[in-house]
Amino acid sequence: MAESLLSGRVIVVDDDPDVLTAARMALCGAVANLEALPSPAQLAEALARTTVDAVLLDMNFAVGAHSGREGLDWLTRIHALDPHVSVVLMTAFGGVSLAVESLKSGAVDFVLKPWQNDKLVATMSAAVSLAQARRETADLKTRNAALASVSAAPAGGVIGSAPALRRVFDLVRRAAPTDANVLILGESGTGKELTAREIHRLSPRAAQPFVSVDLGALPDALFESELFGHRRGAFTGADADRVGRMQAAQGGTLFFDEIGNLPLHLQRKLLTVLERREVLPVGATRPVPIDVRLVTATNRTAADLAREEVFRQDLLFRIKTVEIVLPPLRERREDIPALLEHFLAAYARKYNVPRRRLSPQVLAALEAYGWPGNVRELRHAVERATILAAGEKLGLEDFPFLGAAPAAPPDSEFALDSIERSAIERALAHHHGNISQAAAALGLTRPALYRRMAKHGL
Domain ranges of the chain: 2-142, 157-327, 328-403, 405-458
**Could you tell me which CATH class the domain 328-403 is placed in?**
mainly alpha
Mean pLDDT, residues 106-118 taken together: 87
Spell out the residues 6+ positions from residue 229 whose beta carbon is closer than 8 angstroms to its own: 241, 242, 243, 244, 246, 247, 279, 281, 282, 284, 288
Nearest alpha-carbon partner for 355 in 340, 365, 366, 367: 340
Q: What is the pTM of this model?
A: 0.59
pLDDT band at 153, cuts 50/70/90? very low
pLDDT band at 391, cuts 50/70/90? confident
Contact (CB, 8 A) for 299 and 159? no
- Architecture of the domain whose range is 2-142: 3-Layer(aba) Sandwich (3.40)
Please give the mean pLDDT across all residues of the chain: 84
Kindly give the interhelix angle for 435-442 and 446-455, rounded to the nearest 10 degrees. Answer: 90
Mean pLDDT, residues 171-178 taken together: 96
At residue 145, the pLDDT reads 57
CATH for 405-458 (1.10.3720.10, 1.10.10.60, 3.40.630.10, 1.20.1580.10): 1.10.10.60
Q: What is the percentage of the chain residues whose pLDDT exceeds 70?
A: 89
pLDDT surpasses 50 at 318: yes
- Please provide the CATH number assigned to the domain covering 157-327: 3.40.50.300
Comparing 8-17, 60-69, 288-297, the range with the smallest average pLDDT is 60-69
Kindly give the interhelix angle for 69-81 and 96-104, rounded to the nearest 10 degrees. Answer: 20
pLDDT band at 146, cuts 50/70/90? low
Kindly give the interhelix angle for 336-351 and 374-388, rounded to the nearest 10 degrees. Answer: 40
Contact (CB, 8 A) for 71 and 91? yes
Q: Judge if 2-142 and 157-327 fold alike in CATH terms.
A: yes
At residue 147, the pLDDT reads 55
